[in-house]
């Protein structure tokens, strides 16, 4: 499954289409990946794993040919530069020209930032 975000930006007196592709490493960008090793049970399998997962981003202002972050040798734990799903959301909104701190009201009228606690991650930008 691919998730795309599309926005329009003014460039040199004309319209420019901005297209971003999010190519998830685990069936979607979510709060978990899969265990780095098969379970030692009949049939194997891999449970949810929230400590490390991967995703690929292309176009629309994301950096080209850049790896951000590092895991241990079995890809089980983040060893450097953790990036959260909310950081990805904030960065995507930023690239589309939407302030990630924009407030939306929930059903009870409480103001909530559109990207939650996510921060724009400069290391993801091209």
User: In the structure, what pLDDT confidence band is assigned to residue 103 with cuts at 50, 70 and 90?
Assistant: very high
Q: What are the structural domain ranges in the chain?
A: 3-124
Largest CA-CA distance found in the chain, in angstroms, rounded: 63
Q: Is the pTM of this model over 0.95?
A: no
Task: Give per-residue pLDDT as tens, 37-48.
Answer: 777 888 777 777
Task: Give per-residue pLDDT as tens, 11-32.
Answer: 444 444 455 555 554 444 555 6
Q: Helices H, strands E: what count in the chain?
A: 1, 9
Phi and psi (nearest 5°) for 19?
Answer: -125, 130
Q: Choose among 22, 32, 30: nearest CA to 1.
A: 22
Taking only Cα atoms into account, the Rg of the chain, rounded to an integer number of angstroms, comes to 17
């Amino acid at each position: 499954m691919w998730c795309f975000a599309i926005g329009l930006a003014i460039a040199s007196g004309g319209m420019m289409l901005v297209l971003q592709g999010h190519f998830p490493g685990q069936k979607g960008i979510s709060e978990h990946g899969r265990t780095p090793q098969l379970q030692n049970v009949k049939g194997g399998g891999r449970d949810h794993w929230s400590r490390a997962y991967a995703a690929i981003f292309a176009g629309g202002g994301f950096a080209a040919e850049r790896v951000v972050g590092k895991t241990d040798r079995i890809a089980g734990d983040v060893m450097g530069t953790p990036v959260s799903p909310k950081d990805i959301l904030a960065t995507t909104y930023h690239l589309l020209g939407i302030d990630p701190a924009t407030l939306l009201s929930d059903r009870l009228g409480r103001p909530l930032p559109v990207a939650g606690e996510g921060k724009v991650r400069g290391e993801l930008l091209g």
